[in-house]
Amino acid sequence: MFKLNILEKIAEKLSIAFNFSGKTNSPSTKNKSKVKNSTVGSIQQAHSINNEVKNFVGSEDYISDLEIKILRELYSVLKETGKRPRLDLRVLHGKLDIVDGDYLGTVTDSKFLNIEGNNYVITQEGVRFMDSFVRNNKPEVDIISLAHSGGPDGQELTGLRLINNGSASAIGIKCFLCADGLERINFANIDRLNPNEESHASLGFKYSDTLFFAGPLSNLRIVLEYKNRDSFKFSSGRYLEQKKRADGNYNIHVPPGAYFEV
């Protein structure tokens, strides 16, 4: 009964399921499938909840808040460096405000992380758990409108609007105009977008004074970089096209093309 109670609590949090494949050239809101909060009344219901838990965390075992805190730090380094991290125990305790005398039993017998010497390391089970954890706490920012305008003052990208199709808030969104071989340009920023929230249109960006106007480019795109509340980093965007002008320069052609995630 204790185990089912734990599974029920976790199942309450699994309110939305997302399909991360099959992106199209136009943004769309993800289909939602809710898991109802009800008492487990049969073996079939128990199996159903157990499967939801496995899909969410990669394990049916309960995990403590302290393990999650340490795993976040290890997983962040793993994703940034691509290497299995070894984080000094005392340094990490100081960063997380863990003091001598705090209970560490859930850490010392964890299947998701190990203590090797004076270092914390993440296990393969820990990597799988965090992959699932991040997927279920993931913002997914897309472009819903972008316009081009031109006149005596030059060529501009105007009216950039974004939407968050993900399951978590996107924080500190930075918008970059990018192409192979050119330094990218940060042309718009948005503090925060909650799930299913749309942004206001950004101010115009004059690109005719940049190299993005002067010649043909490879892999022209807008890249959006942002974090979730756990400070995990994400990146997505849309590919753009160019159209040659009579004067030999190139306008950026909109609407944007295929969606991508990095």
Boundary residue ending a domain (135, 165, 200) = 135
More confident call, 14 vs 197: 197
Question: Token pair 């496995």 is at which residue?
Answer: 54
One domain for residues 122 and 211:
no
Q: Do the domain assignments include residue 28?
A: no
Q: Are 177 and 185 in contact (CB under 8 A)?
A: yes
Backbone angles phi, psi at 182, to 5 degrees: -120, 150
Share of the chain above pLDDT 70, in %: 77
One domain for residues 175 and 190:
yes
Nearest to 63 by CA among 13, 141, 130, 147: 130
Q: What is the pLDDT of residue 47?
A: 44
Mean pLDDT over each residue of the chain, to the nearest integer: 80
Which CATH number belongs to the domain containing residue 236 in this structure?
A: 2.60.40
Q: Do the domain assignments include residue 30?
A: no
Boundary residue ending a domain (135, 165, 182) = 135
Per residue in 117-156, pLDDT tens?
A: 999 999 999 999 999 888 888 999 999 999 888 888 899 9
Q: Do the domain assignments include residue 31?
A: no
One domain for residues 151 and 111:
no
Q: Are 241 and 253 in contact (CB under 8 A)?
A: yes
Q: What is the pLDDT of residue 250?
A: 95
Q: Which domain holds residue 146?
A: 141-261
Per residue in 61-71, pLDDT tens?
A: 578 889 999 99
Q: What is the pLDDT of residue 48?
A: 44
Top mean-pLDDT range of 15-24, 40-49, 163-172, 228-237 = 163-172
Q: Do the domain assignments include residue 34?
A: no
Does the pLDDT at position 10 exceed 50? no
From the centroid of its chain, how far is CA 20?
12
One domain for residues 90 and 211:
no
Does the pLDDT at position 226 exceed 70? yes
Per residue in 82-129, pLDDT tens?
A: 898 999 999 999 999 998 888 888 998 999 999 999 999 999 999 999
Domain count, the chain: 2
Q: Do the domain assignments include residue 202?
A: yes
Q: What pTM was computed for the model?
A: 0.68
Mean pLDDT of 217-228: 96
